[in-house]
């Protein structure tokens, strides 16, 4: 599932390319995306409206339109948003005049299209092989008060060290699971939790309640460093993620831990993999200290 760097990459692209554009029409072959709205109802909210802004909350993309509504997009496991032009050819949407990346099989599952008044990028499309993505639309206040957003913790890149340290005072559990808890801090998943913990030299099974302030400070610094680097490199494409131009993210070329079990870490030790709360954790048992 895309994490903060992937979603932030998409948001920054959309800010450049779709803000100020008007939505001319909507097509989908999967109206279940809209969670309670029919396609006709969804169109009534968005068609003819101008896109005023694009922001992110956790792993959610928020598109503000001129009706006072927000469109919330959560990409889930296989979804990604693409900018370009497609034509329907024998029941399949095919890219027109796009770079070769758009012909990547991962980009070929077009389920939803927003038609825009833009010559260069006339379509904003959702490719989603497994149809797990979510697309909600409603008045801004209503969307912002949905549990999807209201129950989220602070943003990993915005929280101060003082507030981050406070989070640990009442929290218990294994640090790998806690970092991925979106009510603790938002945006971190399986990939970047492995990267952050290795950078901070903290074992994924370490108990949160046993961490001392110096370790929390190092963890905070590692979190900022890794997430910012992930954004700079336009995310990780270990599986389905592609950016709005259909390209893979570049973070995989410098990845430290995730899916590297059996290989060696930067210090030359073998990387191990274990299960932590039904998720895989990749770590170096030599470099990363276990705190229990």
Please check the confidence at residue 98 and state whether its pLDDT lies above 80.
Answer: no
Are 90 and 203 in the same domain?
no
Q: What percent of the chain has pLDDT over 90?
A: 96
| Rounded mean pLDDT, 211-215 | 97
Structural domain contains residue 289: no
- My answer on whether 9 and 82 are in the same domain is yes
Within a domain: residue 184? yes
Total number of domains in the chain: 2
At residue 239, the pLDDT reads: 87
Residue 291 lies in a domain: no
Q: What is the pTM of this model?
A: 0.96
What is the Cα–Cα distance from 117 to 123, expressed in whole angstroms? 9
Q: Of the candidates 127, 150, 173, which is a domain's last residue?
A: 150
Residue 176, in any domain of the structure: yes
- Same domain, yes or no, for 122 and 29? yes
Mean of the per-residue pLDDT values of the chain:
96
In this structure, are 67 and 24 located in the same domain? yes
234 and 165 together in one domain: yes
**What's the token pair of residue 9?**
């990459």
Task: Give the residue carrying structure tokens 């932030």.
Answer: 8
Verify that 142 and 21 share a domain, yes or no: yes
Our CA angle for 69, 112, 114, nearest 5°, is 55
Do 190 and 219 share a structural domain? yes
SS3 (DSSP) at 10: helix
Q: Which of 117, 150, 183 is the C-terminal boundary of a domain?
A: 150
What CATH number did the domain enclosing 9 receive? Answer: 3.20.190.10
Q: Are residues 188 and 243 in the same domain?
A: yes
Instruction: Name the strand (E) or helix (H) holding 178.
Output: helix 175-180
Per-residue pLDDT, 155: 98
Cα gap 259→252, rounded to integer Å: 10
CATH number, domain containing residue 278: 1.10.8.50
Domain that holds residue 202: 161-283
Among residues 43, 59, 242, 248, the one annotated as catalytic is 59
Strand (E) or helix (H) holding 42: helix 39-46
Predicted pLDDT at 99: 76
Residues 125 and 12 in one domain: yes
| Domain contains 272 | yes
The answer to whether residue 127 sits within a structural domain is yes
Residue 214 placed within a domain? yes
H or E element at residue 73: strand 69-74
pLDDT tens sequence across 235-288: 999 889 999 999 999 999 999 999 999 999 999 999 999 999 989 999 999 999
Name the active-site residue from 2, 5, 95, 204. 2
- Is 166 an active-site residue? no
Q: What is the pLDDT of residue 36?
A: 85
3-state SS assignment for residue 66:
coil
Choose the catalytic residue: 101, 260, 279, 285.
279
Nearest residue to 113 (alpha-carbon basis) of 105, 121, 104: 121
213-239: average pLDDT: 97
Find, among 146, 163, 141, the residue nearest to 154 by Cα.
163
Residue 17's Cβ-side half-sphere holds a number of Cα atoms within 13 Å equal to 20
Same-domain status, 103 and 228: no
Tens-digit pLDDT profile for residues 51-71: 999 999 999 999 999 999 999
- Whether 1 has a pLDDT exceeding 90, the answer reads no
CA dist 142 and 153 (Å) reads 18
99 and 213 within one domain: no
- Asked whether residue 155 is domain-assigned, the answer is no
**Active-site residue (options: 3, 8, 64, 195):** 3
279 is catalytic: yes
Whether 2 is catalytic? yes
DSSP for 137-169, written as a single string: EEEHHHHHTSHHHHT---BTTT--HHHHHHHTT
For residues 103-115, give the mean pLDDT: 96
């Amino acid at each position: 599932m895309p994490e903060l760097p992937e979603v932030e990459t998409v948001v920054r692209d959309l800010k450049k390319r779709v803000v100020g554009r008007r939505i001319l029409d909507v097509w989908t072959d999967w109206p279940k995306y809209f969670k309670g709205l029919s396609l006709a109802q969804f169109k009534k909210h968005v068609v003819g409206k101008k896109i005023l802004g694009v922001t992110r909350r956790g792993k959610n993309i928020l598109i503000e339109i001129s009706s006072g509504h927000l469109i919330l997009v959560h990409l889930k496991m296989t979804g990604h948003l693409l900018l370009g032009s497609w034509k329907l050819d024998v029941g399949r949407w095919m890219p027109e005049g796009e770079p070769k990346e758009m012909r990547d099989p991962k980009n070929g599952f077009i389920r939803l299209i927003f038609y825009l008044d833009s010559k260069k990028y006339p379509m904003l499309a959702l490719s989603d092989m497994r149809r797990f993505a979510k697309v909600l639309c409603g008045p801004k206040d209503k969307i912002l008060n949905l549990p999807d957003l209201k129950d989220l913790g602070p943003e990993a890149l915005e929280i101060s060290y003082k507030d981050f340290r406070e989070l640990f005072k009442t929290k218990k559990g294994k640090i790998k699971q806690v970092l991925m808890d979106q009510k603790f801090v938002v945006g971190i998943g399986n990939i970047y939790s492995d990267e952050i913990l290795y950078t901070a030299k903290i074992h994924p099974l370490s108990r949160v309640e046993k961490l001392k302030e110096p370790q929390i400070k190092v963890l905070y610094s590692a979190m900022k460093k890794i997430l910012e680097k992930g954004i700079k490199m336009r995310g990780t494409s270990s599986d389905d993620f592609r950016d709005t131009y259909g390209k893979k993210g570049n973070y995989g070329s410098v990845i430290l831990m995730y899916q590297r079990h059996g290989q060696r870490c930067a210090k030359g030790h073998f990387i191990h993999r274990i299960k932590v709360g039904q998720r895989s954790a990749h770590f170096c048992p030599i470099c990363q200290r276990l705190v229990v």
